[in-house]
Amino acid sequence: MESPGIDPKSSTRTKRKNWKKIIYVTLSLLLVLAVGGTVTAGWYLHRPLPDPAGTFTISGLREPVKVYRDDHGIPRILAKNLRDLYFAQGYVTAQDRLFQMEMSRRLASGRLSEVVGEKTLDQDRFFRTLGLRRAAEASLSSYSGEALTALKTYARGVNAYIRQATENGELPVEFTLLGAEPEPWTPVDSLTIGKYMAHDLGGRWKGQAFRHELLRLFPKEQALELIPEYPGDGPRITGETPSSLNLSEQLASAVFPREQNGSNNWVVSGEKTKSGKPFLANDPHLSIATPAIWYQTELKGPGLHVSGVTFAGVPGIVVGHNEEIAWGVTNVGPDVQDLYIEKRNPDHPDRFLYEGKWEQARRISEKIRVKDGKDQVMEVMVTRHGPIVTEFARPDGKMEQPDTALSMRWTALEPTTELEAILRFNRAKNWEEFREALTYFKAPAQNFVFASTDGTIAYRANGWIPIRKKGDGLLPVPGWKKEYEWKGFIPWKELPTVVNPSSGWIATANNKITGDDYPHHITHTWAEPYRAARIQEVLQQKKTFTVSDMEKLQTDTKNLRAQWLTPLLLQQTEGETWTREEAAALELLRKWDFHDDPEQSAPLLHHLWVNELEQKVYKPLGSKTLNLFEGKAQVTDRLLRQAADGKPGWWVQNRGGLKKLVVSAFKDAFRRGQDLQGEDPTRWQWGEFHQVVFSHPLSEVSPLDLLFNSKPIPVGGSSMTVMAAGWNSDSGQVDHGASWRTVVDLAEPRRSRDVVGPGQSGQVLSPWYHDQAEDWARGRYHETRMIDNSGLPGGKLLKLMPSE
């Protein structure tokens, strides 16, 4: 008997695809055996997948729960009480993403070496020093009873699945490959993952470290050229002498988030839509991998009916919509991390100077277990400002500057209550209730856009953003002087907010959100303006929009940076002597429509050219200092503009001037293009270089990439287009962008248009493992329908029954 709502022909095709995948997996595993693997391929093939259908009796439930999975594996969870709802969410998420959940909490807690070995020791030392888990533990007591219940019952659901999978031999194959087993899940694990996402959307302290190194290594005039412009008369240097700490070396092993982490979101008023109700569109940009960062779910229980995505391991819906409202997020990226230069007592290394007195730091002993190695013990010191971050890579305790250290203060290391806010978002019915829920959201600061069935559209930059007594987050500051303390945060009522603007739309793309008259400092380094400018350009083009228009805009490949930069570069090539092939390549750029489409050759040449330019301009920095460079693209734009206006700075002059720099970079880029794709540039294709494979964490171990990764898929866009698709400059592999895209028409709030790349499941043999990979790359969507009162949905039905 077929499952309800499943076409028999479709089911047959799915079975055929699964058998093809089984054969592929068999060959991959036999290859593993051939190179010394320790497990048999047959064991893997007979290892059962979690069953998405059927009836299971589970201890911990109060009443029966139904879980319907649609054709893309998206679970719709129906429960008669909220405890069972979150229990089932934990259980179902673990079915699909248990290995990802295990590795996420280990990464954020500094415990990867327990299952990976010495390779991840520096990473573990860094996260033990940072203390994300300590911050999560400190936050737990700040939550309401309702939120704590959600955390605890979610954890019980995860643990119920862990027990079942262990007993039935259903643990994901990755656990056996690593020789590991999942530990019981706890509420602190969920909060730690939340803290890690704050880390992934932070990283401003890297810019402070970079500017410190600039002033240490270069004359002030040269250093100032690479410091971001600030409203007013340019960058403000505090006047304090930078320390002699070699941060390029001491932070070489630090785990910095990708600078491009951000997103697009926008809302359009019903006055400008075909349906007459607002649209909301959101595509959060983070790492692109297998499994996806986002996990799509629908939750239905008493007083709650919400659909959207969350992070595997976190209850509720982080971003999505219910039957009355929809909301989306992008990263504000404010300066919420400050580095403090601390003076250490030469006789007592755990004491630091403050206002003429030596203060005792808190000492935390951290023991790191190492697979197949000796356990490591490290000591973390926490000053009044935060943890010392310049010594984590020196477990022997030998310090380069024994009398000086660098500590970090960061909003996310304080007790915060983001999950409280999320659970309230899920229940909000209007802007007033959603706005009230935002009071609980502290870190990371986010650009929220909002739309509701009553026609309201709104925007708010929300979260803790510090107000400094002195200094502006540009450089590390003296930790021994009280005038450099924070005096609080931007008052909640003064955070940037817009409701129902006359323009009829609101859009953000990590761009600058305030005018020069805004009284508070937010950041020195906004994202490049090109994505935001393109979104605004499109939203101003028409009087009426459709949902299809929103989808096209989310996957738009127009590169506005290339539109202004390419003519500037081409101008510098005039008067030079070129080979026939080089001249043909330049002509391609002259005729380019500035779309980063995968079939075109001009995007490949453009991006290779810009990459060569930056390598030449910033070569004096050295690789380790260059890794700290925050805002490099913005600085490059400014240097090139100034040089084109006849005001070249030292960094351009050092390469022989603008013309010589541009011509030399073009020749190197052209030669690289030929090495990549042959002599004839007219046959090059951006998509042949710029491809996505949705890499799995274990795929670095060959030949496991054959088992876990998707086939390479050509992708359009770039880091400068609305269709964000950042890539590795060496391999061309796309590793950053919007793993989830959604469009919601508030005229039909129970429906949304979505895609999760590469798919819902982290189980390699699941039909939902990579089933959305092609759709993601090609800009295709599927419709997600929430359960309504007209009847139960089709799909695979899983019944979870209480054991009593």
DSSP string, 290-349: SS-SEEEEEEEETTEEEEEEEETT--S-SEEEESSEEEEEEE-----EEEEEEEBPSS-T
Residue with tokens 């327990």: 114
Matching residue, tokens 């007033």: 432
CA angle (130, 133, 137) in 5-degree steps: 130
Strands 477-478 and 337-343: parallel
- Residue 334 · residue 445 · CB < 8 Å: yes
Q: Which residue has the tokens 């190197």?
A: 668
* Of 76, 73, 74, 77, the residue nearest 64 (C-alpha): 77
What HEC string does 647-671 produce?
A: CCCHHHHCCCCHHHHHHHHHHHHHH
**Cβ-based neighbour number of residue 63 at 10 Å:** 12
CB 121 within 8 A of CB 111: no
Q: Is 59 helix (H, G, I), strand (E, B) or coil?
A: coil
* Residue 81 to residues 64, 302, 750, Cα–Cα distance (Å): 10, 6, 21
d(CA 490, CA 487): 10
What span, in angstroms and rounded, lies between the C-alpha atoms of 623 and 145? 50
DSSP per residue over 668-733, as a string?
A: HHHHHHHHHH-S-GGG--HHHHSEE----GGGGSTTHHHHHSPPPEE---BTTSSSBEEE-TTT-E
Q: Among 263, 695, 719, 766, which one carries the catalytic annotation?
A: 263
Residue 574 burial by CB count (10 A; 0-12/13-18/19+): exposed, middle or buried? exposed
Read off the tokens for 690. Answer: 């710029």
Whether residue 253 lies in the annotated active site: no
Distance (Å, whole) CA 530 – CA 560: 6
* Angle of CA points 344, 129, 183, to nearest 5°: 155
Coil/strand/helix, residue 471: coil
The span from the CA of 455 to the CA of 749, in Å, is 12
| Angstrom distances, CA of residue 539 to CA of 2, 331, 544, 553, 597 | 46, 21, 9, 9, 21
Residue 731 CB partners (closer than 8 Å, separation 6+): none
- The CA distances from residue 744 to 264, 285, 445, in Å, are 14, 18, 23
Query: Measured between alpha carbons, how far is 604 from 718 in angstroms, rounded to an integer?
Result: 10
Question: Is residue 206 a contact partner of residue 628, using CB atoms and an 8 Å limit?
Answer: yes
H/E run at residue 29? helix 8-34
**Helix locations, 169-289, DSSP H:** 173-178, 187-200, 204-217, 220-224, 247-250
Q: Tell me if 393 sits within 8 A of 400, measured CB to CB.
A: no
Taking the CA atoms of the chain, what radius of gyration do you get in angstroms?
27
Q: Is 338 annotated as a binding residue?
A: yes
Element (H, E) at 42: helix 41-46
From CA 662, how far away is CA 571, in angstroms rounded?
10
Catalytic residue ranges: 263
Annotated binding residues? 335, 338
Annotated binding residues for Ca(2+)? 335, 338
